[in-house]
Amino acid sequence: VSYYIGLDLGGTNIKGGLVDPDGNVILEREIPTEAPGGPAHVIDRLGMLTKQMVQEAGLDLKKNLGLGVGTPGPLNDDASIVLAAPNLHGWKNIPLRDELAKRVGVPVTVVNDANAAAFGEYWSGVGRQHGIKHMVLLTLGTGIGAGVVMQGRIFAGAHGAGTEMGHVIVVPNGKLCGCGQRGCLEQYASATAVGTLAAEKIKAGGKKTNLPANPSARDVLVAMGKGDELAVEVLDEVCTYLGLAVVNFVRIFDPQLMVLGGGMAFLGETLLGRVRKVFEEQTWKVRPERVKIVAATLGNRAGFIGAAGMTATAPLA
Ligand SMILES: [Zn+2]
């Protein structure tokens, strides 16, 4: 039997797995990235994890169906070089594809991690459950990652940059984003934004709250679940931005599923219900909407599963 191998390179951990041709995970492992060791060390670890998994499963690495790596940060046009990865120490213009191929002796496919997560959810998660071909994923975490699946393939754009929907501008001259633009969606609707917005409201002395002066995003998300008044106000604001973003993305892509994942998705219906409400209030009444707004199902496994699958399914470009 032959499998796809997927790796997901994160700032803290590398996750990896063997995935069968139908998208089922056969084996999965996780090791620390050890990013302070620098790019060459991290690539060594990617190679080591690959060999370890193949050996554990009693397979021949040369007979694998594909080896894919999801990485943060932008890639060059032929996806051989990671141009920059802010969460990985020293990662600037790193020829990951060829360096890893050298270590493992088989070809490597490098993909953007947000696209990998979207493809994973499509191939093996919520997309498969719904039997659909067109899907948009927003990953609500430190930032907002995004991926678009069209006709069962990732939409990569003309320059392979993919879709950076966390950086659509929602507030003219708004908050400065790490990307250099002002007013990006991720400044208003990511998990990080939740923490920042709560701190602003606490400082301004608004609604009643049990939160500390500088709450983490996690603090606020937990308080939301318990009905903390200030946290709920934050959630309502965040969901207004998210709901409007969903309207816009549905207008552009006409997907069958709009999927919300990432750290904030653990709020489940508390989040989804609010987003759906904003969507329904704002969207067209000229014909019934058929898109479903749902939660991702694979959690942080989506990345390696999608990276595995994307070795076989070239992006639409
Ligand atoms: Zn931005």
Distance of CA 45 from the midpoint of ligand 1 (Å): 31
For residues 129-149, give the mean pLDDT. Answer: 96
pLDDT-derived band at 157, boundaries 50, 70, 90: confident
Tell me, in angstroms, the distance from the centre of ligand 1 to residue 146's CA.
13
Q: Which of 300, 311, 290 shows the shortest CA–CA distance to 21?
A: 311
262 CA → ligand 1 middle, Å: 18
Query: In angstroms, what is the span from residue 218 Cα to ligand 1's centroid?
Result: 22
- Report percent pLDDT > 70 for the chain: 99
Residue 167 CA to ligand 1 centre (angstroms)? 4
Is residue 123 within 8 A of residue 309, CB to CB? The reply is yes
Select from 102, 100, 105 the least CA-distant residue to 307: 100
Q: What is the pLDDT of residues 195-212, one digit of tens each?
A: 999 999 999 988 999 999
Residue 131's Cβ-side half-sphere holds a number of Cα atoms within 13 Å equal to 0
Alpha carbon of 303 to ligand 1 centroid (Å): 22
| Model confidence, pTM | 0.94
Position 158 confidence tier, pLDDT thresholds 50, 70, 90: confident
CA nearest 119: which of 141, 143, 135? 135
Instruction: Using the mean position of ligand 1's atoms as its centre, give its distance from the Cα of residue 170 in Å.
Output: 10
Would the pLDDT of 316 be above 90?
no
The pLDDT tens digits for 255-297 are: 999 999 998 888 889 899 999 999 999 888 888 889 999 999 9
Q: What is the b/e burial string over 92-121, where b = at least 16 CB atoms within 10 angstroms of the residue's CB?
A: eebbbbebbbebbebebbbbbbbbbbbbbb
The chain-wide mean pLDDT, for the chain, equals 93
Split at pLDDT 50, 70, 90, the class of 232 is very high
Task: Please tell me the distance between residue 103's alpha carbon and the centre of ligand 1 in angstroms.
Answer: 35
What is the structure's pLDDT at 284?
Answer: 83
* Pair of tokens at residue 252: 């552009």
How far, in Å, from the CA of 138 to the mean position of ligand 1? 14
**Distance between Cα 187 and ligand 1 center (Å):** 7
Ligand 1 centre distance from Cα of residue 207 (Å) = 29
d(CA 275, CA 145): 17
Residues 6+ apart with CB under 8 A from 143: 166, 178, 186, 190, 192
- pLDDT at position 161, please? 64
Over residues 94-119, mean pLDDT: 96
Q: What is the 3-state secondary structure (H, E, C) of the chain?
A: CCCEEEEEECCCEEEEEEECCCCCEEEEEEEECCHHHCHHHHHHHHHHHHHHHHHHCCCCHHHCCEEEEEECCCECCCCCCEEECCCCCCCEEECHHHHHHHHHCCCCEEEEHHHHHHHHHHHHCHHHHHCCCCEEEEEECCCEEEEEEECCEEECCCCCCCCCHHHCECCCCCCECCCCCECECHHHHCHHHHHHHHHHHHHHCCCCCCCCCCCCHHHHHHHHHCCCHHHHHHHHHHHHHHHHHHHHHHHHHCCCEEEEECHHHHHCHHHHHHHHHHHHHHCCCCCCCCCEEEECCCHHHHHHHHHHHHCCCCCEC
Give the Cβ contact number of residue 282 at 10 Å: 13
* 86 C-alpha to ligand 1 centroid (Å): 14
Query: For residue 173, how far is its CA from the centre of ligand 1 (angstroms)?
Result: 12
Q: What is the CA(175)–ligand 1 centre distance, in A?
A: 9
Distance of CA 11 from the midpoint of ligand 1 (Å): 20
Q: Which distant-in-sequence residues (6+ apart) come within 8 Å of 227 by Cβ?
A: none
Report CA(169)–ligand 1 centroid distance (Å).
8
pLDDT tens string 159-169: 766 789 999 99
Please state the φ and ψ torsions of residue 259, each to the nearest 5 degrees.
-110, 130
What is the CA(292)–ligand 1 centre distance, in A? 27
* C-alpha 267 – ligand 1 centre gap (Å): 24
Instruction: Dig out the tokens for 260 from the structure.
Output: 């919300």
Distance (Å) from CA 143 to ligand 1 centroid = 9
Q: What is the pLDDT of residue 106?
A: 96
Which distant-in-sequence residues (6+ apart) come within 8 Å of 276 by Cβ? 243, 293
What distance in angstroms lies between residue 180's CA and the mean position of ligand 1's atoms?
A: 6
Distance 278 CA to ligand 1 centre (A): 23
Q: Residue 317: what pLDDT?
A: 67
- Enumerate residues with CB within 5 Å of ligand 1 (an ion): 167, 177, 179, 181, 184
pLDDT of residue 25: 97
Task: Report the separation in Å between the CA atom of 282 and the middle of ligand 1, taken as the mean of its atom positions.
Answer: 24
